[in-house]
């Protein structure tokens, strides 16, 4: 799985990073899910393919994950 530093590094890649970041949204670690949602939010419209997965996280049991997902969408 991707670690937090790797997730942040993906932000500089742009569109090619959307796939790995979307997969990271399903990581068991809430910290990884938060960071993935944050980076996808930073990518803006480029992250549109991740929208459905981000919307699922709006109901994440971890409040930090849900909040970051809300910011991203």
Per-residue DSSP letters for 15-44?
Answer: GGGHHHHHHHTT-S-HHHHHHHHHHHHHHG
Longest dimension (CA), the chain: 30
d(CA 46, CA 4): 20
Q: Is the pLDDT at 21 greater than 80, yes or no?
A: yes
Q: Is the pLDDT at 2 greater than 70, yes or no?
A: no
d(CA 52, CA 58): 10
- Contact between residue 51 and residue 26 where contact means Cβ atoms under 8 Å apart: no
pTM over 0.85? The answer is yes
């Amino acid at each position: 799985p991707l670690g937090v530093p790797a997730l942040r590094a993906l932000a500089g890649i742009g569109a090619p990073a959307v796939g790995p970041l979307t997969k990271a949204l399903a990581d068991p670690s809430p910290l990884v899910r938060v960071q993935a949602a944050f980076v996808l939010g930073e990518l803006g419209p480029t992250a549109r393919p991740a929208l459905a997965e981000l919307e699922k996280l709006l109901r994440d049991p971890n409040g930090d994950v849900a909040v970051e997902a809300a910011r991203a969408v």
